[in-house]
Amino acid sequence: MIAINFNNTINFMRLKVPALILSGILVIASLGLMATKGMNWGLDFTGGTVIEVGYQRDADLSAVRSVLADAGFPDAVVQYFGSSREVLIRIGPRDDIEQVTLGEQVLRLLGEADPGTVDMRRIEYVGPSVGAELKEQGGLATLAALICILIYVAFRFEWRFALGAVAALAHDVIITLGLFSLLGLEFDLTVLAAVLAVIGYSLNDTIVVCDRIREGFRRIRESEPVEVVNESLTGTMSRTIITSLTTILVLLVLFFKGGELIHGFATALLFGVVIGTYSSVYIASSMSLLLGISREDLMPPPVEKEGENTEPLL
């Protein structure tokens, strides 16, 4: 029998009830924010016009915003695209201006403000119907991912782990969306990709935790389920810290140096990595305990030896 010194084990589950209460409050608050304040949908979902212009020297974004605001486009999103000489302009759908002439009007305004230095690179128009379809398909993609994860974990481990894993992933997605709603950050296709990446990251961490807990139940025979879970979580802590820190370091570089185009992407992933690590410990594991996970649920079925006669002798 393997002797385990529980004095060196971190008692994570001591905080499982306060953690579940806190998570419940955050989830309810996030849902309330999305229902009342709503999301700041990007042009990918609402429709609009994307215009890319090139300058012969470094562009002054504040001057470009001022020109567009004075011309009746105060909501235009202006940012660098690739370099300080490439500028991307996003303008929401307009009923009073035909989209085919909008690009020409913007180029004329910028050319008058800075003659001879501006040229059109590309112009794209996203219709409202396309944006609505992208929003619907994005939601369905997230839902399909959660259902597939539920089925996989149920077959791979146990149904209690599956419910805990899906609850943790739904928890991560809802709170991340709540953060974007609270801060009014733009939610576009890159942020949707980040949310799906958060699901993958959190799932990977949850699978590692579930696997360690299952092995712990099989190795440690004379311990309570709470002690086994605490020992298993302690064993994964070094791996979790190293993985999370290295990921966060890369995301910090993207957040501060990546530019406006991927700022939302980096924000969602930074928050998602932190909340995903938390949920793997205090949502997935805690729910498995509350659902009554035990050693008997995780032991492999007995293998009948070949040729063994299991019929009773007469």
State pLDDT tens for residues 61-93: 888 888 888 888 887 888 887 777 888 888 877
> Rounded CA gap, 178 and 38, in Å?
9
Q: Which residue has the higher pLDDT, 213 or 130?
A: 213
Please, which pLDDT band fits residue 14 given cuts at 50, 70 and 90? Answer: confident
Pairing of strands 186-187, 40-41: parallel
Tell me: pLDDT of 47 over 80: no
Tens digits of residue pLDDT in 247-283: 899 899 988 887 777 888 999 999 999 998 898 888 8
Q: What integer pLDDT is reported at residue 267 of this predicted model?
A: 92
What was the pLDDT predicted at 184? Answer: 87
Task: Answer whether residue 3 shows pLDDT above 70.
Answer: no
pLDDT surpasses 60 at 312: no
Q: Say whether pLDDT at 36 is over 80.
A: yes
Beta carbons of 268 and 244 less than 8 angstroms apart: no
- pLDDT at residue 165 above 70? yes
Banded pLDDT at 103 (limits 50, 70, 90): confident
Q: What's the predicted TM-score (pTM) here? A: 0.75
Residue 193 structure tokens: 């990709």
Confidence at 152, pLDDT banded by 50, 70, 90: confident
More confident residue, 301 or 231: 231
End-to-end CA distance of the chain: 39
Confidence of residue 313 (pLDDT cuts 50, 70, 90): very low
pLDDT at 310 over 60: no
Mean of the per-residue pLDDT values for the chain? 80
Nearest to 236 by CA among 5, 18, 20, 12: 12
Higher confidence at residue 82 or residue 113? 113
Pairwise CA distance, residues 305 & 303, whole Å:
6
Find the mean pLDDT for residues 85-110.
78
Residue 289 has pLDDT above 60, yes or no: yes
- Residue 22, pLDDT > 90, answer yes
What was the pLDDT predicted at 275? 92
Higher pLDDT, 294 or 81: 81
Q: Tell me the percentage of the chain whose pLDDT exceeds 90.
A: 13
CA distance 46 to 55: 28
